[in-house]
Structure 1
Amino acid sequence: MKGTIVGTWIKTLRDLYGNDVVDESLKSVGWEPDRVITPLEDIDDDEVRRIFAKVSEKTGKNVNEIWREVGRQNIKTFSEWFPSYFAGRRLVNFLMMMDEVHLQLTKMIKGATPPRLIAKPVAKDAIEMEYVSKRKMYDYFLGLIEGSSKFFKEEISVEEVERGEKDGFSRLKVRIKFKNPVFEYKKNVWGLVPR
């Protein structure tokens, strides 16, 4: 994993559980608590999993619950670090552009492997979004959706459509229903377009 995302996770863990818990968790994998993580640094996935497992042990919370909480909270961290992705947007626009943002990251940062987040309109008030990754971070993905809803102050419901593995990739497809219509049909345009 790249340092950019791991740095946001560590910051979020500190915000959620405090420095003492996170410092001990970092030490458990041989990291100094004040370690500076550079954005392009490659960090072993297993070390990150072990840090989260230690936070789970220290807090008594299930590791999946921790990933979900980090996902919810990370939207706030991302909005501080990358404000241009959030400014003047609605939730549907933000979710629809996430895959493109991740594709751009893979071009800009050598070795970056963010998940695919493929979204498509399926009704005037709903999209389907598919998470595709080798990392199987389903709870983090669901937490990001929940955190995005809170950040943009838009009420949604999320229903799991499909979960499994195919071609070595973990996949989770969800249907996100908005309280109000977010798309409309227009003449001479194929399909749904943003309102």
Structure 2
Amino acid sequence: MKGLVFCEFLEMVEKEFGYETVDHIIENTNLPSNGVYTSVGTYSHEEMFALVGQLSAKTNIPVSKLFYAYGEYVFGVFGNAYKELILGYENAFDFLCRVEDTIHVQVLKLYPEAELPRIEVKNRSDEFLELVYTSKRKMSDFAEGLIQGCMKYFNENASISKEFLSEDQSQVLFTIKK
């Protein structure tokens, strides 16, 4: 995973829980990087799971809820930092349907070694969207938070449900209803 994702996670933890919590989770997690991240560096996704697990232990908030909250948070951060990538879209569904062929293409230009999830549009109408998320990292709670963050960014309300399509949870169907 790109270091930018780690940097933003630690920023969120500091905003929500304070610097002492950031220090605690880094100090109490055995990290190959020692918790030192640069935005352009690449780190194992297992470090993110370890950090979120440590934050869960410290706060008594389930890991799934923390990943969801982080996804929602980081969409807002990236949405504001990279507005030019979102400007041409009129609504959340238009944006979500183009993640694979626009956003991921731009990410790969910047970081050719990035291992991105696959987002496939299965069905779409004005009020209904089905997306299939496929990732060996199995971060569907984070993906769900990103979807919610996107809906908020476009000031739209929707219900989001997910169904695991594979036993190992590497493939998930998200159903989004406005």
TM class by smaller structure: 0.7 to 0.9
Counterpart-to-counterpart distance in 1, 2:87 and 2:105? 20
Counterpart-to-counterpart distance in 2, 1:94 and 1:32? 36
- Seen in structure 2, the aligned counterparts of structure 1 residues 20 and 174 have a Cα distance that, compared at 3 Å, is same
State the match for 1:48 in structure 2: 48
Deviation at 1:79, TM superposition (A): 1.6
Deviation at 1:125, TM superposition (A): 2.1
How many residue pairs get aligned? The number is: 174
TM-score (norm 2): 0.85
Deviations 1:151-175 (A, max 9, x none): 2110112233443258xx8100112
Root mean square deviation of aligned Cα: 2.3
1:61-140 → structure 2 map (5 Å cutoff)? 61-87=61-87, 89=89, 90-100=91-101, 101-140=103-142
Q: Does the 8 Å contact 1:99/1:119 carry over to 2?
A: no
In structure 1, list runs of 5 or more residues that go unmatched: 179-195
Comparing 137-146 and 41-50, the one that deviates more? 41-50
State the match for 2:59 in structure 1: 59
Deviation at 1:9, TM superposition (A): 2.0
Counterpart-to-counterpart distance in 1, 2:59 and 2:130? 34
Q: Does the 8 Å contact 2:56/2:66 carry over to 1?
A: yes
State the match for 1:187 in structure 2: none
Deviations 1:4-23 (A, max 9, x none): 22222222222222211112
Counterpart-to-counterpart distance in 1, 2:47 and 2:82? 25
Which letter does structure 1 place at the counterpart of 2:130? E
In structure 2, list runs of 5 or more residues that go unmatched: none
Deviation at 1:32, TM superposition (A): 6.4
Q: Does the 8 Å contact 2:79/2:153 carry over to 1?
A: no
Q: Rg bigger for which structure?
A: 1
Counterpart-to-counterpart distance in 1, 2:161 and 2:67? 19
State the match for 2:24 in structure 1: 24
State the match for 2:147 in structure 1: 145
Deviation at 1:134, TM superposition (A): 0.4
Query: What SS class does the counterpart of residue 164 from structure 1 fall into?
Result: coil
TM-score (norm 1): 0.78
